[in-house]
Structure 1
Amino acid sequence: MFASRQFLSLLLLLTIKTIGTWAAGGHQMWTYTGQSGPVHWSQAFQACGGTRQSPINIETGSVKVEYWQPFIFKNYDDPPMVMRVANNGHTAKVEMDSHNAPRVAQGGLKGDYIFAQLHFHWGGDSSQGSEHTIDGVRYPLEMHIVNYKASYGNLGTAVQKPDGLAVLGVMYEVSDTDNAALTPLVNALANITDAGLFAEVATPYPLRAFLPKDTEKFYRYEGSLTTPTCNEAVIWTVFDTPVRVSENQLNALRAMKTEDGYKLINNYRPTQPLHGREVQVSGASYSSADSISMKNMGLALYFISTMTVVMMNM
């Protein structure tokens, strides 16, 4: 009788856990491999089979040049009051509390976007890891800084809008030295190896430290979340200039585990078809564009004056 009660209690707990998982948005319904891997996502999440999906391969020979004002990064230089990193079984997700929320504007974006979180995608080795590829090249690590449009009020509403999110994609390349901004974050990862854990990051760097030095050259396209539910709500920015990361720091990410206890590696979605979408690249800043215009105008005036002189001497 006691054994039967134990069995029934265990069955009830498993049932509650399963129902809770589905109600929470299917946290365990998708993985990066096997029958619940990316190829099958659209069976459970219809949007994953859409025509505006991410990531993509960026073919630099086919992009359209656009001239936008430079990005404005508001409160990006302010160290956060608290930074937390969590192992949610799919990635290392970072959130922060700040006196004034970091925001990004301009750079071709229509409106202000408020920082929500950042997270990473990496490989089992340094030959793979990034979600986006540039001319077919895959980097060992890609960071996504997720921002939601301020005018929509909150992340939940914004993710339902075609321009609700602005995600900044940062590529990493391997270096012999550690990335100082990542060091406090990497140190915290040792405490969250198992899925479902989180830890505070000691002496965190401001958000600016996670950006590449050159933020003026970037690629832009309309896409989606790269994980289920794959909402087609993202204005993507992928910076051209990579940031450095050491193998030791990459190995700290690779030491994390999924909910099933497996190594959390190769957590990137394969690139998706463009379906006719246009990919843009930022040209010179407005000031540079103005100087180019002035130069062109000067050449035109020179040509006109030269032709005038020629005509007068005929």
Structure 2
Amino acid sequence: MALTPLALCLALMALLTQDVRSDGGASWTYSGQHGPRHWGTMFRTCAGNRQSPINIETANVKTEFWKPLRFKNYDDPPTRMRVKNNGHSAQVEIDAASAPRVTDGGLKGDYIFAQFHFHWGADSALGSEHTIDGVRYPMELHLVHYNGAYGSLAEAIKRQDGLAVLGVMLEVSETDNPALTPLTNALLNITDSGMFSGVSATYPLRAFLPNNVDKFYRYEGSLTTPTCNEVVTWTVFAHAIPISEKQLRNFRAMMNDHHEPLVNNFRPPQPLNNRKVLVAAQSSGDSATMKKIGLTVYFMTSMAVLMMNM
């Protein structure tokens, strides 16, 4: 029997945040003897050479002139939005008349939206998983998509290009972010692990993206939670979206599986190894066009000078 879109979404959520047991019977955590430092021994795939997150060194990236990212159905408000405290994060799922998708921007396929979730710190000095030139933001949002070419999440997770995740940094603002307010209000209803709540206002996914999505970093990596499958094409936007301290406090009020504050739920940056980090040129389509125009003008000017000297 074919899985419904909601069932597919739940399947991916279970995979991305599964409470996998080690041989000793203890689940993975973000601290202590089962924290990120030990994931590589608990789960073989977490010790791979293509792990995420990473520190993005902007002086060592290669510029690419891709077509702009194309967001399908990202401007359509979903029919329903629900947030769950899964013990590791606040994770949001939606129902929509047409599934949001992302393509182009150097992606090799059409990727279907599944869910988004957050990583944050105990205070605003830390929280994001990726860092940019060593700078850590107070929060990072991950919008998870799977490759539609593989037909299902279960099949996509087996493939090297199975998932595409959009990483959005959040920075502290003096005022609330209106798109986040209904969500952060709902968090007060799910302080305990395993609880879920409807979100009163359903903003389109576009509201959770930066205004400027032209500049982003791209690399091949993994899930940032066990079992750390190396199947993710990462897109990390250079520009952030705002969140207030009041809204951040609602995230920090949540509790994990051990009824401890759910904070610092981020994995530290992993070695880049032999991977390359790419960056999309600002307004890439215009930049590519201007590059061609510039070459044409240079050629015509050179020819004119040559003819004048004949």
**1:256 maps to amino acid:** M
Picking from 102, 109, 115, the partner of 2:107 is 109
Task: Give the whole-Å Cα distance in 2 for the aligned partners of 1:71 and 1:260.
Answer: 40
Looking at structure 2, the residues matched to 242 and 47 of structure 1 have their Cα atoms a distance apart, in angstroms, of: 30
Secondary structure at the aligned position of 2:170 is classed as strand
1:163-222: CA deviations, max 9, x gaps?
000000000100000011100100110110000101111111111100000000000000
Code of the aligned partner of 2:308: V
Please give the residue correspondences for 1:223-238 in structure 2 after superposition, counting only pairs within 5 Å.
223-238=221-236
SS in 1 for 2:290: helix
Alpha-carbon distance in 2 for matches of 1:250, 1:128: 12
| Correspondence 1:71-90 to 2 at 5 A | 71-90=69-88
- Rounded to whole Å, the distance in 2 between the matches of 1:287 and 1:25 is 47
Measured in 2, the distance between the counterparts of 1:56 and 1:174 equals 22
Query: What's the CA shift string for 1:216-256, capped at 9, x where partnerless?
Result: 00000000000001000000000001000000000000000
SS of equivalent residue, structure 1 residue 269: coil
Distance 1:289 1:41 in 2: 43
Contact 1:126–1:140, Cα closer than 8 Å, also in 2: yes
- Alpha-carbon shift at residue 276 of structure 1 (Å): 1.1
Q: Aligned equivalents of 1:32 and 1:291: distance in 2?
A: 47
Deviation per CA, 1:109-159, whole angstroms, max 9, x where unpaired? Answer: 011100000000000000000000000000000000000000111222211
Q: Distance in 2 between matches of 1:69 and 1:109?
A: 10
1:29 is displaced (CA, Å) by: 1.4
Corresponding residue of 1:254:
252
Instruction: Structure 2 unaligned segments of length 5 or more: list them.
Output: 1-17
**What amino acid sits opposite 2:284 in the alignment?**
S
For the residue of structure 2 that corresponds to 1:180, the secondary structure is: coil
Indicate the percent of aligned positions where both proteins have the same amino acid. 58
Question: So what's the TM-score if we normalise by structure 1?
Answer: 0.90
In structure 2, what is the Cα distance between the partners aligned to 1:285 and 1:53?
A: 28
Question: Partner letter of residue 294 of structure 1?
Answer: I
Match in the other structure for 1:242: 240
CA distance in 2 between counterparts of 1:182 and 1:215 reads 19
Select the residue among 194, 197, 203 that pairs with 1:196: 194
Q: CA shift at 1:285, angstroms?
A: 1.9
Aligned residues of 2:172 and 2:242 also touching (Cα < 8 A): yes
Matched, 1:211 2:206: no
Give the match for residue 297 of structure 2.
Answer: 298
In structure 2, the residue corresponding to 1:151 is in which secondary structure? helix
Question: Could you tell me how far 1:43 is from its partner in structure 2?
Answer: 1.6
Is the Cα–Cα contact under 8 Å of residues 116 and 155 in structure 1 kept in the other structure? no
What is the distance in 1 between the residues matched to 2:274 and 2:204? 38
Structure 2 counterpart of 1:25, from 20, 26, 33: 20
> Larger helix proportion, structure 1 or 2?
1
Structure exhibiting the larger radius of gyration computed from Cα positions: 1
By how many angstroms is 1:24 displaced?
Answer: 6.5
How far apart in 2 are the matches of 1:67 and 1:24? 40
Mapping for residues 57-96 of structure 1, pairs under 5 Å:
57-96=55-94
Q: How many residues align?
A: 289
Partner of 2:6: none
Whole-angstrom CA distance in 2 between matches of 1:174 and 1:95: 25
Counterpart in the other structure of 1:13: none
Residue aligned with 2:102, SS: strand
Bigger drift between 36-45 and 50-59 goes to 36-45
In structure 2, what is the Cα distance between the partners aligned to 1:220 and 1:55?
A: 12
Counterpart of 2:124, as a letter, is: S
User: Contact 2:19/2:28 (CA < 8 Å) preserved in 1?
Assistant: no
Partners in 2 of 1:264 and 1:24 — Cα distance? Answer: 15
RMSD of aligned alpha carbons: 1.3
The verdict on how the C-alpha distance between 1:177 and 1:24 changes in structure 2, with shifts beyond 3 A counting, is closer
Q: Take 1:82 and 1:48, find their aligned partners in 2: how far apart are those partners? A: 34
Q: Could you tell me which residue of structure 2 aligns to residue 126 of structure 1?
A: 124
Unaligned runs of 5+ in 1: 1-22
> Equivalents in 2 of 1:139, 1:299: separation in Å?
43
Q: 1:81 touches 1:96 (CA, 8 Å); kept in 2?
A: yes
Question: Does 1:167 pair with 2:130?
Answer: no
Structure 1 residue 291 displacement after superposition: 2.2
What TM-score, normalized to structure 2? 0.91
